[in-house]
Structure formats: structure tokens, C-alpha cells
Amino acid sequence: MRTLIKNGTVVTASDSYRAAVLIEDEKIIALESNPGADADEIIDASGKYIFPGAIDVHTHLDMPFCGTITADDFTTGTIAAAAGGTTCIIDYALQTPGETLQAALDVWHQRAEGKCAVDYSFHVAVTDLNDAVMAEIPALIKKGYPSFKVFMAHKGVFQIDDATLLKVLKQSGEAGGLVLVHAENGDVIDVLVKEMVAAGRTEPLYHALCHPPQAEEEAVNRFITMAEISGAPAYIVHLSDAGALGRVADARLQGLPVYAETCPQYLFLNIDRYSEPDFGGAKYVMSPPLREAGNEEYLWSGLASGNLQVVATDHCSFNFKGQKELGRHDFTKIPSGAPGLETRVQLLYAGGVNEGRISIHKFVDLVSTAPAKLFGLYPQKGSVTVGSDADLVIFDPEAAFTISQATQYQNVDHNPYEGFTGKGVPEKIFSRGRLIFDSGKYVGQVGHGRFQPRKPFTGL
């Protein structure tokens, strides 16, 4: 099967040019300036951009957490991803203490297999380190899992200590892996939470006040220090705050291989959201929390300057009814996380490119090319190149959008960006050569998404 996409403008992380993209089966086989008509299907992309499919390297689908399970599973989550122009996700397989990393992967593979609309891969979260788990790290890198997550917060659930952090960094770094960290000081947060609850302060806002920006900055700094000692590359997930960003910028100035992602919630929302009436602030309970108004612009500057290399979502959806409500009388019982898989690309385009904060090439880099490079998928993904997977987004820069829960594919009863408007809509989405989304309609097949083993870390 051959498909020719003609009259569009190909936009990559470095260039824009007019070319027809010829797809055969799953791959891009030619980029032509004077296309012939030798194709089974011809698509006219006049006035449209052709981007490499976006990659979201931070999702939590079908995940048990905070006494409940995320509202999106691998089917609803990956259809929502596709709706928003994301053609590959990397989710987290979380080790159960006492079990192996492979056992976690087996569980997550079972959750995803045959259920995905787009391609997927897994990071492995280490929560309980012992000699056998240490030995698994190099073996898993060879098997296509080159990224390991550790949590410096979520005390009593996922949090590891500094000794574990250092050991994982050394072991992973020596074998070609990348360590990802949730950087907040979980011990500090634990003390503040207990004080707050004892004082009867139980509304959603107090979740944010128990997660001060200094607790994030301190953890980022400690993680960077350990990475430097171990000689390993380091990646900070969902960085939310200007202070923490400063630590990353300092490290990069010293030439350390330190990388960081931020997420749309920290670019578009702020702490005022916790004061929404009728317990509405619970929708924004996430860790790290939303920060003070004004912090967003520092993160935008971090994206533009290159100190932040990736925008991912940390998509972790819980319904307001029945799930967020679990914490109506105690913020510590509110499941922590928010949806965003479907809206990342258009929010970043509208808020970033249209508003002049980042270039269109930086935009492509942040949502697709840099994630592909950092996580061992490039140039198979993250690129519009002959030989790459035909994961493509035909994007209409003039189409207007209004974000609404009523029209979303995310399987959750609210949307943090309800009512946001802008211009720029992913119109047609191809996953390995198959058209899976067309003008807002899912036209793919669940189960088409395939597991993607990844290459060891080589940098950006």
C-alpha cells in the first residue's frame, strides 16, 4: 500500500520545506519535490504542516495508585493520544516491592498488549533494590528498556533513599541507561503533610502548600549531585518550578549531561486553581503541584533556551466523581494526577508557537525529536526521513479549537483546560503508515499499536 501526501510543508526540528511524503506500508520511502502519482491513495495537504508524530514519554495508563486505578487504560489513553497527534507513548512499569523488574514489565505488557491505538514502550520504575534487581538493570537495557525511574517522593509508596538512588545511577550509567527522577523531597513533604492535617487544614490547596518549590529544588540538586558523582546522565521528570530549573541550568552550564522535561499543566495553570469552588481544586492535585502565578514564564524561557528539552504530560487521569472525591475531607486521600495526553500538542503549539515563545522547530523538537533521541527511538521515530516509521501528523495551523471534556477522547469526567481556545489542530494522524485519525474521528484499529524496544542512551 502506497500513500502520497502532497502539497504540504514538512516541518522538522531543524527545517521546513515543501515536499511530498511517499509512504509504503509502514515506512516513509521518499520525500519528493516533484511527486508522481504512483500511489494507492493521494492526500492533499495544501496549507498544512507535516510533523513527525509526537511522542509522550511520561504517561500512566491502567495504573493502580492512591487506592484506586487511573481512569484511562491503554485503549482510551492511546486513542486520546492519537486524537492529539501523539503516535508513541512511553508508560511506566512500576516494580512491586519484593518482586523483580521483569515481573513489573510482564504486568504492564499484559495491560497494554493488543489494546493500544499507537505504539508504546516502557520505562521501569525501581522501588526496591537488591542484588538481583541490580543485575537486571544491564540485562533490561540490552532487551530494549534503557530508562529507569526512581522516586524521591511518594514516601511509603515508591520513595527510595539516597543510597539506592546512587546505586541505580551507577549501574544504569555504566550499562548505557538513563535514570529518570521524580524530584521532590518526600521526607520534607511528609512532615508538612502531617502538620497540616493535624491543624485541620484538609482542603486541596494544602496539598500544594505541603509541596513547596524548595522541596523540589533541593531534590533536583541532590539528584544532579549524585549523577555527577556516579558519572551518569540524569533526567528530571515533570519539572515544575523556576528554582529547580535554575539548578538544571547551572548543571548544564558545567557541561553535565542533565536533562529535564516539563508538562503543560505547569506552563498553562497555576496555584489559583486549587481555590475552585465545590472541591474543584481537587482536579489539580498532582505532584509536584501547580505553582505561583508567574512561574509559568520561567518554564517557557527554559524551553526556549534549551535548558528544558522535553514537554511530556504525566497523564494520570482520575475522575472527579468517585475518585478525586475520595479526598473530599482530607487532601491526602485525593488521587494525585491529571489528564493531558490529548491536549499537549495543540496547547504547546498555540501557547508556544502562536504566542511567539518558541519557534515551530523548537516545538517539533520538544514534543517529538528530542524525546525520540533521549529515549532511544530516533531516527525510527521523531523524524520525517526516508526509512523512518510513517508516524505523521498533518496539522492545520489555521483551524481553531476549544478544549472541552464534552468532546474529548480521554476517558475522564473533566478537562483541566476546559474552555481553552486557540489555533492549530492535528487533522490527520498516521501511525506506521495507517491513517488512524481523520478530522476528529478515530479511524484506526485498537491493537494496531505495537511495543517498541529502545536503544541505549546516547545523548541528544
Q: How far is the CB of 413 from Zn ion (least distance, A)?
A: 20
Query: Taking CB within 5 to 8 Å according to partner kind, which of Zn ion, ligand URP, none is near residue 286?
Result: ligand URP
Site for ligand URP in 163-182 (CB under 6 A): 182
Listed as own residue / partner, the contacts of 156-165 with beta carbons closer than 8 Å and 24 or more positions apart are 156/190, 158/94, 158/125, 158/127, 158/182, 159/186, 160/126, 160/127, 160/129, 162/222, 162/226, 164/126, 164/129, 165/223, 165/226
Residue 343 near which of Zn ion, ligand URP, none (CB within 5-8 Å, type-dependent): none
Query: Would you count residue 182 as binding Zn ion (CB under 5 A)?
Result: yes
Least distance CB 5 / Zn ion (angstroms): 34
Quick one: which of 440, 381, 307 has its CA closest to 87? Answer: 381
Give the integer Cα–Cα distance in Å for 78 and 74: 6
Q: Which of 347, 421, 452 is nearest to 85 (CA)?
A: 347
Give the CA dihedral 218, 222, 227, 229, nearest 10 degrees.
Answer: 150
Tell me: does residue 287 bind ligand URP (CB under 6 A).
yes
Cis link prior to 97 (omega < 30° from 0)?
A: no
With binding defined as CB under 6 A, does residue 316 bind ligand URP?
yes
**Per-residue x/- mask for ligand URP, residues 54 to 93, rule CB under 6 A?**
------x---------------------------------
- The residue among 243 and 433 lying less far from Zn ion, judged by its C-beta, is 243
**Residue 105's binding partner out of ligand URP, Zn ion, none, with CB under 5 to 8 Å set by partner kind:** none
Among ligand URP, Zn ion, none, partner that 360 touches (CB below 5 to 8 angstroms by kind) = none
Residue closest to 22 by CA, chosen among 101, 8, 176, 156 = 8
Smallest separation (angstroms) from ligand URP to the CB of 212: 16
Measured between alpha carbons, how far apart are the two ends of the chain, in Å?
34
Distance CA 423, CA 402 (A): 9
Site for Zn ion in 306-325 (CB under 5 A): 314
85 contact choice in Zn ion, ligand URP, none (CB below 5 to 8 Å, kind-dependent): none
On whether the CB atoms of residues 90 and 55 are closer than 8 A, the answer is: yes
Q: What angle do CA 283, 319, 86 make, to 5 degrees?
A: 85
428 in Cβ contact with 438 (< 8 Å):
yes
Per-residue binding letters, 332-371, with ligand URP (x by CB under 6 A):
----xx----------------------------------
* Minimum CB distance to ligand URP smaller for 337 or for 416: 337
- Which whole-number Å values give the CA distances from 148 to 135, 244, 454, in the listed order? 13, 21, 13
Closest distance of CB 181 from Zn ion, Å: 9
Q: Residue 147 binds which entry of Zn ion, ligand URP, none, with Cβ cut-offs from 5 to 8 Å by kind?
A: none
Give, as one character, the DSSP assignment of residue 456. P
Among Zn ion, ligand URP, none, what does residue 337 contact (CB within 5–8 Å per kind)? ligand URP
Quote the cell numbers at residue 412.
475522564
Size of the site for Zn ion (CB under 5 A): 2
Smaller CB separation from Zn ion, 57 or 370: 57
Looking up cell 531516527 gives 379
Q: Kindly determine how many residues on this chain lie close enough to bind ligand URP according to the rule CB under 6 A.
A: 8
* 336 contact, one of ligand URP, Zn ion, none, CB 5-8 Å limit per kind: ligand URP
Decide: helix, strand or coil at residue 26: coil
Please give the C-alpha separations between residue 200 and each of 193, 206, 303, 453, in angstroms, as whole numbers.
Answer: 11, 10, 39, 48
Chain residue at closest Cβ approach to Zn ion: 182
Query: Using CB under 6 A as the criterion, what x/- string covers residues 182-221 for binding ligand URP?
Result: x---------------------------------------
User: Which residues of the shown chain bind ligand URP in the complex (CB under 6 A)?
Assistant: 60, 182, 286-287, 314, 316, 336-337
User: Which residues of the shown chain bind Zn ion in the complex (CB under 5 A)?
Assistant: 182, 314
